Amino acid sequence: MAIRRGRGVAAINYPTGMNLGGDPTQALVHSTPTGNFMVTLSSVDLGQGMKQIMAQICAETIGVPTDRVVVDTADTDTGPHCMGTFASRGTHRAGNAVIQAAREARQVMLEVAAEELEVNASDLETDGQGNILVKGAPQKSISIFDVALSAHFKRGRSISGRGMFLIPRSYPEKETGAMKPSTCYAHACTVAEVEVDDETGEVTVLTVKNVFEIGRALNPKMVEQQLVGGSWMGISHALYETTEPYYPNRDHGGTDFNQYLMPGPGDLAETEIIVLERPSADGPYGAKGPGEMCANPQIPAVANAVFDAVGVRIDTLPITPERILRALKAQAAN
Amino acid sequence: MAKVPVQFTLNGSEKAEFVESGTTLLNALRDKIGDTSPKGGCHQGTCGACSVIIDGELRLSCLTLAETCNGAAITTTSGLAEGGVLHPLQRAFLDTFATQCGFCTPGMIMAAKVLLDHTPNPSRDEVVEALSGNICRCTGYEPIIQAVLTAARANSQNAA
Ligand code: FES
Ligand code: FES
């Protein structure tokens, strides 16, 4: 009877979005009379940072500072249509819709500025600080504040835009079954080191080293935050969490936080995160969906590490001490 | 059911309310007084989201009856900022990205505050111990541990 060490590796690719009846998200952008911009969405920010990212995307596209953008995700009854925040689709789908809406709004903004400056709209550019300048003659400029006032009070125009991003439904080919159920894929690879006590069946994760390829990280600190939390959650799925420990039998399922186990602050593995940025062709500014994929590769990596440590393959989650001991017993009997 | 009077200080100001006997402090704070910074995660003492400080001690407001708090001094996360300036713990939680959905955050901050009030320069193990009654679903805890250590360092620099 001993504590045995093992190391496991796993790699995944993970889709962005889904393929039921098509996958749409829409967005509306409009300016206030003082040249702030409002993004209206039904997509929900549940803590992953959607509002911040959509503000960045809108600001980048229109050419204003991020703090000039307000994102309203309030109401799925009244907002533009979104399929929802799931399938790691928020940044990709809503982001593309926001770019489209912001482009249209930017065009109107430049047209109004062109009338004020008596130049051609195609000769104008934004400085990212809230001003519109004539290309090559930056002394000729107008603030976006003044452009918005002019649009509202003088020229009767709405600086606004509509964004409609739709991934149409993909049907499988009859002969081969081939289809395109999702768009861009994110990738990850994890190496996990574990200790397995072959007397008690307990697994301790010592280290997890993760590499994530997530397209462009639109907000690197928030991406890191998501990946650190996701790596922890992957270990939690691998070793602890279940509502149905004897599935399909419902008996002994956790009913509250006392019984639904998750690793606490005292059970953390040493965690390393490396981000690779390979901008995706169809993502907003190259982004992919890092949301859920970051909690996946730890699971097979831990299972492989357990196999490396004690020679048993556990193919049911979570990898509990009971499952390991039963497998060890079966192994000894053979 | 007969209502009972309760009277205590909340974040330095006097509060008086009539509540039904058996009302938890959590419900009294949120529904009667309107301080929604303590969160109700489980209502049975297992998640820590409802943590508040009563007379200097960390307590679970979901397991504390409001009527037992007469005369007490209660602190919640909503009382930490002074005149728009965030408390060092709040600042550190922001700076280290220690909050995602934010549901656990007020409870975490309460637990951390009691720790730092007694142990201004805690070790990592002491931080882990102090947070171990609080559940977080989002962050993986590491950013929260770093936030508390960061706030402790900021405090000791200000004191020096
Ligand atoms: S709500 Fe009080 S401990 Fe969960
Ligand atoms: S930040 Fe979501 S539960 Fe902690």
Size of interface A-B (CB pairs under 8 A): 60
Pairwise CB contact (< 8 Å): A225 & B143 = yes
Averaged pLDDT for residues B107-111 = 98
pLDDT at B158 exceeding the cut of 90: no
Q: What is the pLDDT of residue A1?
A: 79
**Residue A171: inside a domain, yes or no?**
no
**Residue A175: inside a domain, yes or no?**
no
Q: What is the pLDDT of residue A234?
A: 97
Q: Which residues of B touch A233 (CB under 8 A)?
A: 140
Query: Could you tell me the pTM of the whole model?
Result: 0.92
Pairwise CB contact (< 8 Å): B44 & A256 = yes
Q: What percent of chain A has pLDDT over 70?
A: 100
Name which of B44, B129, B142 is nearest A228 (Cβ-Cβ): B142
| DSSP notation for chain B | --EEEEEEEETTEEEEEEEETT-BHHHIIIIII----S--SSSSSSS-TTEEEETTEEEEGGGSBGGGGTT-EEE-GGG--BTTBPPHHHHHHHHTT--SS-SSHHHHHHHHHHHHHH-SS--HHHHHHHHTT---SSS-SHHHHHHHHHHHHHHHHHH-
B75 and B92, same domain (yes or no): no
Pairwise CB contact (< 8 Å): B102 & A47 = yes
B47 and B70, same domain (yes or no): yes
Instruction: Kindly give the distance from the C-alpha atom of residue A257 to the centroid of ligand 1, in angstroms, as a whole number.
Output: 10
Neighbours of A190 (CB within 10 A): 28
Averaged pLDDT for residues B8-15 = 97
Mean pLDDT of chain A: 95
Cα(B106)–Cα(B41) distance, integer angstroms: 12
Residue B160: pLDDT band with limits 50, 70, 90: low
| CB of B94 less than 8 A from some CB of A | no
Q: For residue B75, give the CATH number of its domain.
A: 3.10.20.30
A248 and A325, same domain (yes or no): yes
B32 and B61, same domain (yes or no): yes
Q: What is the position in ligand 2's atom list of the atom closest to the CA of B99?
A: 1
pLDDT at A313 exceeding the cut of 70: yes
Closest Cα of chain B to A19: distance in Å? 27
Verify whether residue A292 is a known catalytic residue.
yes
Reported as half-sphere exposure (CB side, CA atoms, 13 A), residue B16 has a value of 1
pLDDT at A114 exceeding the cut of 70: yes
Domain stop point among A139, A165, A191: A165
Q: Which residues of B touch A46 (CB under 8 A)?
A: 101
Task: Provide the H-helix boundaries in A118-195.
Answer: 144-149
Mean pLDDT of chain B: 96
Averaged pLDDT for residues A54-79 = 94
Task: Output the six-digit token pair for B54.
Answer: 């009563």
Averaged pLDDT for residues A179-194 = 92
Cα separations in angstroms, A209 against A10, A125, A275: 11, 44, 11
pLDDT at A20 exceeding the cut of 80: no
Domain ranges, residue B27:
3-79
Ligand 2 neighbours, Cβ below 6 Å, are A 47; B 99-104, 136-139
| CB of B137 less than 8 A from some CB of A | yes
Q: What is the pLDDT of residue A136?
A: 94
Q: What is the pLDDT of residue A48?
A: 86
Per-residue pLDDT tens over the stretch A145-169: 999 999 999 999 999 999 999 999 9
**What is the number of domains present in chain A?**
2
Averaged pLDDT for residues A67-92 = 91
Averaged pLDDT for residues B102-129 = 97
Averaged pLDDT for residues A178-195 = 92
